Amino acid sequence: MPITEQQLLQILPNAGRQAGVFVPALNTAMNRYQIVGLKRVAAFIAQIGHESGQLKYVKEIWGPTKVQARYEGRADLGNTQPGDGSKFRGRGLIQITGRANYNACGEALGLDLLSKPELLELPQHAAMSAAWFWSMKDLNTLADKGDFVKITRRINGGLNGQADRQGLYDKALKVLA
């Protein structure tokens, strides 16, 4: 069930013109990674909607904040070289973060993200990287079970923005039904 621009705007009203830009990219990405059916699509759209500020941000706004400053030198993110924290900040609709994740995502999508991390800011790669991440974290299984809280934990590491995510999910379930 491909999502339409009208449906996307009903779920993410602040997306504006970006909805039309992202619909084809989202449908291609969701199809490739089997994000199909009401529960999967609703959960995916809700999560990317939150993570991207309703399709407004495909690159993490950089301060750096205290949290962002800690990206530097983080072995678990593969940030081993000076400047990796900023260079491999969150990008794409689900905010792929860290040298190791950029490398894995790039290999999966056939992109040289280590040399050109900004490729994840292009709509087709922003959407595809989100669907790839979703697949790597086995989030279709959790979506099928309706375990939206666990999906948020796997994406975010915690429950940041859970009220917004849940609101978007509830709206998506209604709009897509």
The pLDDT tens digits for 122-148 are 999 999 999 999 999 999 999 999 999
pLDDT attached to residue 45: 98
Q: Give the chain's mean pLDDT.
A: 97
Q: What is the DSSP string of 129-155?
A: HHHHHHHHTTHHHHHHHT-HHHHHHHH
The two tokens of residue 104 are 């894995």
Domain residue extents for the chain: 5-57+123-176, 66-120
- In this predicted structure, what is the pLDDT of residue 91? 98
User: In this structure, what token pair is assigned to residue 107?
Assistant: 């290999």
Mean pLDDT of 31-51: 98
Q: Is the peptide bond before 64 cis (omega within 30 degrees of 0)?
A: yes
Q: What confidence tens digit (pLDDT) does each residue in 105-122 have? A: 999 999 999 999 999 999
The rounded distance, in Å, linking the Cα atoms of 88 and 134 is 19
Predicted local distance difference test score (pLDDT) of residue 34: 98
Architecture of domain 66-120: 2-Layer Sandwich (3.30)
**Confidence class for position 1, pLDDT limits 50, 70, 90:** confident
From the candidates 5, 51, 118, 121, give the one annotated as an active-site residue.
Answer: 51
Report the largest interatomic distance among the alpha carbons of the chain, rounded to a whole angstrom.
Answer: 48
- Residue 51 is among the residues annotated as catalytic for this protein: yes
In the chain, pLDDT over 70 holds for what percent of residues? 100
